[in-house]
Structure 1
Amino acid sequence: MKIKQCLLIGFCSILLFNCSGDTYVGELTTDDDAPLVEPVPIVLSLGMSDFEILTRGSGEVNNGNDADFWDNVRFYVYAFNKDPQTDLSNPWSEANQDFCLLDGHRTGGANAQASDHGKEVGVKKEDSNLLLFYPDEKSQEIYYNMKNTNQPYNFFAYYLDDWMGECHREKDHIYYDVELDGRRDFMSAMADPEAQKDKYEGNPYCDKILGRAFSAYSANHGLNPVFQFEHHLVLLRFVVCRPDDSSNKKGNGVPSLDPTLAVKKVELNSKYKGRFTVAVSAPDADGMTNLKRGISFDSEDYKYFELKKKNGELIGNSGWCLVADCPIYENVTDDDKKRYRYVLDKDKENDRDSGTSLLVAPADSYRAKITLSAEQGLTGALYTEVEVDLENTNDNKVFSPGKAYTIYLTINSLSDISSAVESGVWTNGGDINISPDDKYEDE
C-alpha cells in the first residue's frame, strides 16, 4: 500500500503491519528446549485489522488524527492459563502467575496500575506497531513466567472508549455492564498463534512452538501475541438525498422540491444496555451455552440516539442541510460514495461532515426519526417529524456487528421520506493520506 509522506508513521504501522510477516518476531531460535537464562519479555502488538477507532466526541477517526490523539488511546490486556478450569477471578501475584500472567495488578514501575481491569497498554507511534505497557518505559520490564517456561497462556485485549464502569471478574469470564450513547465504541481481540504459522514453515519445532503459545518458550522462538481487534457494534453512516425531479417534467403532477426544506435532526432507536464480555476461560468451546467474547443485548430497553457534530455537540437550530443542496441518490456514483463530503453536510467549518455516523446495537431493523422544517412565509417555519423504518435487504436482512452500513434518506417532502441501505467495510481504503476527503470503501 502506498504511504504518503505526510502520514503519521505510527498510524501507518497500525494499519499496515500484518501478523504473519511484518510483526516484530525477535530472533527465531532453532535450538529446541534450550535453557532460558535471561528473562523473556512480554511483547504485544497490533496486527492489520479492518477497523478504525471511533471515539466519543470525535466521530470517525481517520488517518489525519495527530499524535496527541494516539497518546490518549488505551487498550487493556489479560493473559490467563489456557486450562479451561482456570479461575479468572484470581488476580495476578507472584504465587498465582501460573494461572494469571497479566492483568491490572501486574506491577512494572512508578505509578503502576493496580486494578481488576486488564493491564493498560498504549500504542508506540514512533516506529512500530508495538503496544507498550502504560505509563512509561520502566513499565516495560514485564516478563513471562520463568519458573514454568512452557506454560501457555490465552491473551485477551479490549477497548472501552470512555466507559469506565465496574469490572466483574467471575470464574469463567470477565465482563462489563455497558451503555451505548451512539458514539461510544467497544472492541476486543484474542491473540491467535495460528495466524503466524506460516513464518515457522520448515522449522522442525513448529508444532511445539505453536502448541506452547503463548509462553516464554514460544516467545523465545519469536512468537508473540498479535491482536486483531473486532468491532462489536454496528456503524451507521447517513446520507441525505434530494428527490429526482425528472418525473415532474413528465407531467405526472409530482410537486417540485421546496427549496427551504431542511433536515433539522436525525435520530435512531436502538437497544443501549449490554454486557461486554472481554475474556473467557474456554474460548475454543463449542455450543450455544458457552460464553463468548462480545456484547450481548438481552435487555428490551431502547432509546433514541441523535446524530451529533464531530465534537459531540448537538447540531443546533441551523440543522444539518438544505435538501436542495444534497445529491440525487440515483446519481451518487461508486466513487462519490467513498468520500465523506457526500455524507449529510458539506460545512467543514463547523465539523459537521465528520459527525454523521452512529454506533448502535446489532438488530434486524431500525426505526429512524427525522425532523424536517420548511419556511411558510410570514407564519415562520413549519416543523414535522417523520418516522422511517430501515430494512437491510443484504447480509441475511440483518444489521450485523462489526459491519458498516450507509443509510440513504431521500427527502421528498415534509411528510415523505424513502430509505435505501447499502453495506460496506468499516475501514478506510485506497491510499492512506491526510485529506479532508478521506475515503472508505463500500463492498
Structure 2
Amino acid sequence: MKKGQITYKRIKQYLLIGFCSILLFNCSRDTYVGELPTDDDAPLVEPVPIVLSLGMSDFDILTRGSGEVNNGNDADFWNQVRFYVYAFNKDPQTDLSKPWSATNEDFCLLDGSRTGGVNAQVSNHGKEVGVKKEDSNLMLFYPDEESQSIYYNMRHTDWPYNFFAYYLDDYVSECHREKDYIYYDIELDGRRDFMSSMANIDKQEDKYEGNPYKDKILGRAYSAYSANHGLNPVFQFEHHLVLLRFVVCKPDNSPNEDKDEKRNIPPLDPSLTVKKIEVNSKYKGRFIVAVNDPTDQTKPQRGISFNNEEYKYIELRKKNGELIGSKGWCVVAEDCPVYGDEKAHLYVLDKDIKNERDAGTSLLVAPADFYKAKISLSAEKGLEEPLYTEVDIELRNGNGMFSSGEAYTIYLTVNSLSEIIPKIEAGKWAEGGEAELNPDGEYKD
C-alpha cells in the first residue's frame, strides 16, 4: 500500500474518531478527546497530519450555473466544489506575503506552495481543497490522495496557527499577498458567491470539560499538540453578499389598507410576460480572505469592501447562467405564496411550470440601504408588435438595510404594464457570521 493511502486512512480515522461528533451533533461532551500521556509535553513521536472539515450548519452555496446548493446535494456535486485554505502563525507580526517553504514553516504552515504529491499546486492562493461529504465533510487536499501527506510543524509542536478558508465560485483573479492581509479584487455578476471562514475553537470547547490539559489544548490551537488531542479546524462559512429571491405575482384585490374597499384593478392580459428583472448594485470590491491580526479592528479584516462610485444594473439570469432571451421568460404567477409556504421555493415561475428550476430566481448583490430595480414587461394584446414597457421601482426593507449573509424574498405584484408593487420579506439563507463587511467604505489601491 502506498504511503499516501496509509496517511489518507489515518486522516479518516482522526476525523471519525476524533471529532466527527462535533460536526454532526454540535459538540457533545462525551466526544473523544485523544489519549492523555503521562507526560503531556513529551515530544510527539509521529508526524501529526493536518485534518480539515467543513461545518455544514444551514450551509448553502449559490454556485454559478447550479442554483442554490445545500446539504442534500449529491456527492458528485461536492466532488467538484473547491475551497482554498491558509494557515499562518498567530503572531500578529507574521508576514503573510511570504509563502510556505521548509524554512518558513514556522510562520506559514499552509498555502498553495505547500507540496504534497506529484501534482502539487504552487501559487499565491490558499491550498486547494475539496469536500468528501460522505466522510463527514472531510476536506481533502486537492488534487490526489498523495497530497494528504501534509503535516503540522513538528519542530515547534506547540506553536498555534490561524486557519482561513475561502470560496471564489468560478471567479478567476490575481491573488495579492501583503504583509498584513491577503486579498482579491472582485466583480459581482449576480451569480457568484463569495464566502470565507476562520476556524474557531468556540464550538469545540465543551468536549474538553474536565480534561486536565484543557487550557493547553485550547491555547495552542491549532498546532500539532492540539491536533494530537483531537482539536482540528472546522470551517463555518460566512456569506458576504445579499441574496435576493424573486416571486412575480398577479394583483390581488384585497381591501385597501386605508379604506375598507377593494382596489379596482382590471384583469390582466393573459399574454403579460415579465421579460427581464435588473437590480442596480455596487459591483467592484476587495475581498480580504486572510489577516495576520484578527483582533485588531484598526487593521484590515476579513470580508468585502465595495467601491462606492461604481454601480451597474445586474440582470437576473436563468440558473444555467444564460440570459433570458427574446422569447420571454415568465408569465405572472397565479397568486403570491405566503412567505414560509413551500410554494415560496418556486420563486419566479417559468412558462412551463414543470421546468421552474430552470427559471432565474435569485441575485447575489452588494449590501445596501435600498436598491433601484428595472422590470421589463410585454403583452401581445392581439397586435402584430407586442407592447413593451420598463418599470422603475425601489426595493426597500422595512426592517432596515439589506445586510450581508441575509436572504430576502421580493414579491413583485404586477398591476399593469406601468405599475408594479414590491413587497420584501426577510428569510433565512445561512447561519449568521462575523464577517467584517463595510458597505459604505471605499477600498483604496
Both structures adopt the same fold (TM-score exceeding 0.5)? yes
1:309–1:420 CA distance, 2 compared to 1 (3 A): same
Which residue does the alignment assign to 1:268? 279
Please give the residue correspondences for 1:161-310 in structure 2 after superposition, counting only pairs within 5 Å: 161-245=169-253, 253-286=264-297, 289-310=298-319
Superposed displacement of residue 368, structure 1: 1.0
For residues 269 and 91 of structure 1, what CA distance do their matches in structure 2 show? Answer: 39
- Cα distance, 1:63 vs. partner? 4.9
**Change over 3 Å in CA distance of 1:290–1:349 after alignment to 2:** same
Name the TM-score, length of structure 2 as normaliser.
0.86
Encode CA deviations 1:43-64: one digit per residue, 9 max, x unaligned.
0001133321111112212455
Q: Which residue number in structure 2 is paired with residue 390 of structure 1?
A: 395
Report SS of the residue matched to 1:96. coil
Distance 2:209 2:109 in 1: 29
Q: Deviations over 1:366-410 (max 9, x none)?
A: 01100001123234310000011000011xx10000000000100
1:41 corresponds in structure 2 to: 49
Q: Which amino acid aligns with 1:273?
A: K
CA, structure 1 residues 82+370, in 2 after alignment: closer, same or farther (shift >3 Å)?
same
User: 1:109 matched to which residue of 2?
Assistant: 117
Distance 1:21 1:245, change over 3 A: same
Tell me, yes or no, if the aligned pair for 2:251 and 2:265 is still in contact at 8 Å. no
Moved more, 136-145 or 340-349: 340-349
Q: Residue 36 of structure 2 corresponds to which residue in structure 1?
A: 29
Is the 1:310–1:351 Cα contact (8 Å) retained in structure 2?
Answer: no
CA–CA distance in structure 2, aligned partners of residues 254 and 307 of structure 1 = 28
**1:415 matches 2:422:** no
Deviating 4+ runs (over 4 angstroms): 13-16, 22-26, 246-253, 348-354
Quick one: structure 1 residues 51 and 202, their matched pair in 2 at CA, closer, same or farther if it must change by over 3 Å?
same
d(CA) in 2 for partners of 1:181 and 1:98?
A: 39
Equivalent residue number for residue 435 of structure 1 = none
Mapped partners of 1:64, 1:79: distance in 2: 30
Distance 2:51 2:61 in 1: 22
Q: Is the counterpart of residue 376 in structure 1 residue 384 in structure 2?
A: no
Change (3 A) 1:348 1:338: closer
Match for 1:359: what amino acid?
L
Q: 1:346 offset after TM fit, Å? A: 6.5
- C-alpha distance in 2 between matches for 1:319 and 1:224: 51
Where structure 2 has 5 or more consecutive residues not aligned to the other structure, the ranges are 1-19, 432-445
Distance in 1 (CA, whole Å) between partners of 2:168 and 2:285 is 13
Q: With structure 1 as the length reference, what TM-score do the two structures score?
A: 0.86
Correspondence for 1:134 among 139, 142, 162: 142
Letter in 1 for 2:408: Y
| Partner of residue 16, structure 2 | none
SS of residue matched to 1:94: coil
Distance 1:334 1:295 in 2: 30
Aligned residues: 408
Structure 1 SS opposite 2:383: helix
Query: Which residue of 1 is the match for residue 371 of structure 2?
Result: 366
**SS at the partner of 1:138?**
helix
- Whole-angstrom CA distance in 2 between matches of 1:15 and 1:343: 38
Local SS of the residue matching 2:134: coil
> Which deviates more from structure 2 when the two are superposed, residues 126-135 or residues 22-31?
22-31
1:356 aligns with 2:361: yes
The residue type paired with residue 107 of structure 2 is F
**8 Å contact kept, 2:287–2:305:** yes
Q: Which runs of 5+ in 1 are unaligned?
A: 1-12, 429-443
Q: Residues 280 and 314 of structure 2 are in contact (CA less than 8 Å); yes or no, is this contact kept in structure 1?
A: yes
- In structure 1, the partner of 2:338 is 333
Distance change in 2, residues 1:196/1:308 (3 Å): same
Q: Supply the AA of the counterpart residue of 1:421.
A: I
Cα separation, 2, equivalents of 1:392 and 1:376: 35
User: Could you say if the C-alpha distance between residues 420 and 16 of structure 1 is closer, same or farther in structure 2, counting changes exceeding 3 Å?
Assistant: farther
30-39 or 291-300: bigger deviation: 30-39
Distance 1:261 1:245, change over 3 A: farther
- Equivalent position amino acid for 1:233 in 2: L
RMSD: 2.5
CA, structure 1 residues 381+219, in 2 after alignment: closer, same or farther (shift >3 Å)? same
CA contact (8 A) 1:46 1:226 kept: yes
Q: Is the 8 A contact 1:15 1:47 kept in 2?
A: no
Q: Report SS of the residue matched to 1:114.
A: coil
Q: 1:153 aligns with which of 139, 161, 170?
A: 161
Return the alpha-carbon distance in structure 1 between the equivalents of residues 357 and 327 of structure 2.
Answer: 11
Say which is worse superposed, 256-265 or 134-143, in terms of deviation: 256-265
CA contact (8 A) 1:309 1:351 kept: no
1:316 and 2:319 equivalent? no
For residues 358 and 96 of structure 2, what CA distance do their matches in structure 1 show? 44
Q: 1:347-373 CA distances to partner (integer Å, 9 max, x unpaired)? A: 355455553000111111101100001
Aligned-pair CA distance for 1:33: 1.2
Q: CA deviation at 1:310?
A: 1.2
Q: 2: CA distance between counterparts of 1:369 and 1:72?
A: 35
Shift of 1:308: 1.1
The SS at the match of 1:122 is strand
Distance 1:144 1:55 in 2: 32
Identity among equivalent pairs (%): 70
Match of residue 17 from structure 1 = 24
Q: Distance in 1 between matches of 2:118 and 2:176?
A: 26
Instruction: State the secondary structure of the residue aligned to 2:424.
Output: strand
User: How has the CA–CA distance of structure 1 residues 247 and 227 changed in structure 2, closer, same or farther, with 3 Å as cutoff?
Assistant: closer
Provide the C-alpha distance between the structure 1 equivalents of 2:264 and 2:408, rounded to a whole number of angstroms: 34
Output the CA distance in 2 between the equivalents of 1:15 and 1:165. 35
The Cα of 1:264 is off from its aligned counterpart by: 1.0
| Deviation of 1:298 (Å) | 2.5
